[in-house]
Amino acid sequence: MLHYWLEFEESMGKVWDKYLNKKVHKLHEEQRVYFEDISKPLHIFHRLMGGEKAKELRITDKRYVETSRTLLEKISFLGKEFFLTWQDDESVYIPASFAYFSTKEENEMLYYWLVAMAAQVENITNNNLIEKNQYAIDYLTKRYSGFDIFYKNATEYLMDKYEQLSFLKSLDEQSNQALIDDYPNPLWIYPRAITLSYANNIENEEEPTREEGKDKSEELQMKKQANQIDDKHETDGFLAFLPESLMSIFEQVNVDRLEDDSFDKDALYHAEDLDEITIGQKQANLSSRIKMDLELLQDTTVTYPLGKGHYLDEWDYKKNDYLVKYARILPQITMNVIPIELPQRLKKTVKKIQAELDILQLNRIKNDRLPYGDELNMDAWIEYMSHQNKSMHHQNFYTSYEKKTRDMSTLLLADISLSTEGGITQDIRIIDVIKDSLMVFSEALEKLEDKFAIYTFSSLQNKKVYFNIIKNFKDKYNALIRGRIESIKPQYYTRMGTAIRESIDILDRQQSSNKLLLVISDGKPNDEDRYDGRYGIEDTKKALQEAKKKGITPFCITIDLDAKEYLNYLFGSNGYAIVRDGQKLPKVLTEVYINLTK
């Protein structure tokens, strides 16, 4: 009996809940549009609208607004949390989904509207909230008839559904600030929630061994309201208190968020659920910071050094001279690799690229003036006829088209420093994309029958610049090479200049008249010693100049989004490509190559 009663109560509860939600939310669930689905077009749109190119679009977290709630809203505890659009120097933060309007088109339009607004509005604060927004709205509605219609309809609809928004009707003469603060307008851009200035102001009595914990929180896709507490005194435990309307439970556990940078999906999940993330200042003892790598699979591959290495010069910009035989290059090769076939996941891309190459017929080369061939060359024959002394003239009248390797040698130099361990998405690391790119690229070049070589590099100061041989120019591309590509592991640092000089030497020994040096990298040149910042960049620049002097064309493809400035300096404005979507690297790399050489 009780059982039935409980079930009845539960279903009644559900109905009530649904009723309240519907009544209060007035949302159109079936027309909900998610940011995830249109994030890429929105990114492009943001740039199109004149938004700063380096800015990211991210999902925002809810924030609490002191609103005057209707009775129903109070009963249902709803109407207090809001997802607002705001921005800082790095990103624009947008709600994860919208369902305000009755059609998908309008909900989607709201995203485009907010992105356009964000591109117009700058330095918004609570004081200039109205002027700034109003200014942007005026601009957008005047310039775009589409936005004009949308804005009018949307405002009307929202004011109708949410009576608190009726202040919008008389915004110009509106002096009641409280009314405006009362209920946020989904069409506006808002200031950022809490600045972290408080967090920065806390005196750090203990030795500051790490930078602010702020950096680590970037792992989260959404920005949390950050709060910092002073936990230097032990007050671990369980705290319960009654905020305004409902009892909530806060848990204080000593989790070292400054140190714990392991990516944990669970943590992310919980972080989304928590209202606030509190960051303490406590740090783990040094002794507990040792990272254990015991669970790694046993690796059978062995890196085998080829000789004792040799020394190359390095450029010191301060002395404005070379440091003669300063950096030691250590060529090595990975042994015991297992030959593999082309991975299934790449087959489609490779097929597509090869089909493109077929259309381009890049490898069809016309040979004129042959003693025999496919077609008669009229010019050659007429020239012969017009020549006074025919016996002195050659009789090569034919033209033929043949598949022939182009006179081209390409050296691919990939940066495999530790930073490539970083993730592009949660599952894919930069190094994985580099490996995939190398394979796809090799397949394409093999098809073109162009000569190519692949090397990877990493470094530990000037005495150890590892130069891994994946494929020499004379090696045949086969399963073993694929195996070597697969066995690439990120390690150490990026002494780029030295690796480039070694590549120049190798390319210089090739007979081709066109030589291309393709560098794939994920960041600036750097090493443990002074090879960082300007020193590294100047040395790399010098190395690239040496390459150009020897008739080698350098080109860089990078996944580093902030790269533009130094790449421009290193490679020149036409000498590099930035790949925003790392997963497109395999395709882009090949396309760049075709464009460069067609």
Partner 1 sequence: MSKNYYLPQGNEVELFDASASMNLPVLIKGPTGCGKTRFIEYMGERLNRKVYTVVCHDDLSAADLVGRHLINENGTFWQDGPLTKAVREGGICYLDEIIEARKDTTVVLHSLADYRRVLPIDRTGEVIEAHPDFMLVVSYNPGYQNVLKGMKPSTKQRFISLSFDYPKPDIERQVLVNESGVYEQTAQKLVDIASEIRQLDDTDIQEAVSTRLLIYAGKLIVKGFDPYQACMHTIVESLSDESDVLEVLEKLITLHFTKHDNA
Give CA–CA dist 225/199, Å, rounded.
Answer: 12
Cβ atoms 498, 465 nearer than 8 A: yes
359 makes contact with partner 1 (CB under 8 A): no
Distance CA 598, CA 589 (A): 14
Residue closer to partner 1 (CB basis): 143 or 530:
143
Residue that is written with structure tokens 């010069």 in the block: 313
Contact stretch for partner 1 (CB under 8 A) within 43-51, 201-209, 224-232, 310-318? 43-51
Give CA 473 to chain center in angstroms: 32
Nearest by Cα to 521 from 543, 546, 490: 490
Q: Report yes or no: 419 and 525 within 8 Å, Cβ to Cβ.
A: no
CA 462 and chain centroid, separation: 30
Q: Which of 379, 449, 508, 562 binds partner 1 (CB under 8 A)?
A: 379
Q: Is 386 in the site for partner 1 (CB under 8 A)?
A: yes
User: Considering the rule CB under 8 A, would residue 149 count as an interface residue with partner 1?
Assistant: yes
Contact window for partner 1 (CB under 8 A) among 55-63, 210-218, 255-263, 383-391:
383-391
3-state secondary structure of 226: strand
- Is residue 370 involved in binding partner 1 (CB under 8 A)? no
Name the residue nearer to partner 1 (CB basis): 56 or 66.
Answer: 56
Would you count residue 444 as binding partner 1 (CB under 8 A)? no
Does residue 597 belong to the site contacting partner 1 (CB under 8 A)?
Answer: yes
Q: Which of 34, 35, 45, 322 binds partner 1 (CB under 8 A)?
A: 45
Q: Supply the minimum distance, in Å, between the C-beta of residue 133 and partner 1.
A: 19
Task: Read off the tokens for 204.
Answer: 């750090």
Tokens for 578, please give them: 């930035």
Show Cβ contacts of residue 560 under 8 Å, excluding neighbours closer than 6 positions: 521, 522, 523, 524, 578
Among 22, 77, 90, 146, binds partner 1 (CB under 8 A): 146
Among 41, 331, 422, 423, binds partner 1 (CB under 8 A): 41
Total residues binding partner 1 (CB under 8 A): 36
Q: Which of 49, 130, 271, 370 binds partner 1 (CB under 8 A)?
A: 49
Q: Work out whether 516 is an interface residue with partner 1 (CB under 8 A).
A: yes
> What is the smallest separation between the CB atom of 49 and partner 1, expressed in angstroms?
7
CA–CA distance, 138 with 429 (Å, rounded to integer): 44
Site mask, partner 1, residues 169-208, x = CB under 8 A? Answer: ----------------------------------------
Coil/strand/helix, residue 414: strand
CB nearer to partner 1: give 66 or 581: 581
Q: Of 153-161, 337-345, 382-390, 461-469, which segment contacts partner 1 by CB under 8 A?
A: 382-390
Contact status: 547 vs partner 1 (CB under 8 A)? no
Residue from 59, 121, 180, 577 in contact with partner 1 (CB under 8 A): 577
Q: In this complex, which beta carbon is closest to partner 1, that of residue 251 or of residue 375?
A: 375
Give the strand pairing for 464-471 and 321-335.
parallel
CA 288 to chain centre: 32
Q: How does DSSP classify residue 162? A: -
Pull the structure tokens for residue 154: 């949307």
- For partner 1, give the closer residue by CB, 457 or 555: 555
For partner 1, the closer of residues 108 and 415 by Cβ is 108
Residue 77 amino acid letter: F
Residue burial 333-368, b: 16+ Cβ < 10 Å; e: rest: bbeebeebeeeeebeebbeebbeebeeeebbeeeee
Residue 142 binds partner 1, judged by CB under 8 A: no
Radius of gyration of the chain (CA): 32
Q: Applying CB under 8 A, does 400 fall inside the site for partner 1?
A: no
- Min separation Cβ 53 and partner 1, Å: 7
Residues with Cβ within 8 Å of residue 117, at least 6 apart in sequence: 85, 133, 136, 137, 140, 187, 188, 189
Measure CA of the first residue to CA of the last residue in the chain; give whole Å. 82
Give the integer Cα–Cα distance in Å for 465 and 460: 6
Which range in 15-23, 146-154, 245-253, 439-447 contacts partner 1 by CB under 8 A? 146-154
Q: How far is the CB of 189 from partner 1 (least distance, A)?
A: 18
Interface pick for partner 1 out of 2, 178, 359, 385 (rule CB under 8 A): 385
Where do contacts with partner 1 occur on this chain (CB under 8 A)? Answer: 40-41, 44-45, 47-50, 53, 112, 143-147, 149, 366, 379, 382-383, 385-386, 408, 514, 516, 553, 555, 574, 577-580, 595-598
